Amino acid sequence: MIVFLAVGKDADGSVHYLGLDPDVSATTESRAAWKALVAGDPETQPEEFTPAKSLGVVKSMILGDGDTAFGPLVRKYCVDTTAKFPKIKRFV
C-alpha cells in the first residue's frame, strides 16, 4: 500500500505525487538503516536497540536527515493523468 501525501507540479508543468511507501525493504537506504538498528541480538546488546533509536530511524526514513529531501520511504511518483485507466482484469 502506498499513501499519497501531496500533489504538485514540476517546472515543466507535469504533475507528480509524493507518496509514503512503508515497505522498509523497498530501498537500499532503508534496508541499511534497519539492518544497522537490529544487528546483533537485542538481549546481549540492549543499548543498541532502544525505542529512541528505533524512532530516530523511522523519522529519518520518512522525513530525511537534511533540509533538501524526504527520507527513502517517501517517493515522487509521476503519473500520466491524461491516460485512460486500464481495464480491470478479473480472474474467476
**What pLDDT, in 10s, does the model give residues 8-42?**
888 988 888 888 887 766 677 777 777 776 666 65
Asked if residue 73 lies in contact with residue 30, where contact means CB atoms within 8 angstroms, the answer is yes
For 89, the grid coordinates are 482484469
Phi, psi of 80 (to 5 degrees): -80, 100
pLDDT at 78: 84
Q: What are the φ and ψ backbone dihedral angles of 12, each rounded to 5 degrees?
A: -85, 0
The predicted structure's pLDDT at residue 67: 76
0.85 cut: is pTM over it? no
Q: How high does pLDDT run on average in the chain?
A: 77
Residue with cell 543499548: 47
Please give the Cα distance from 73 to 29 (Å, whole number): 9
Helices (H) and strands (E) in the chain, counts: 2, 3
- What 8-state DSSP symbol labels residue 46? G
Query: What's the rounded mean pLDDT across residues 66-71?
Result: 77
Return the beta strands (E) in 35-83 as ranges. Answer: 74-78
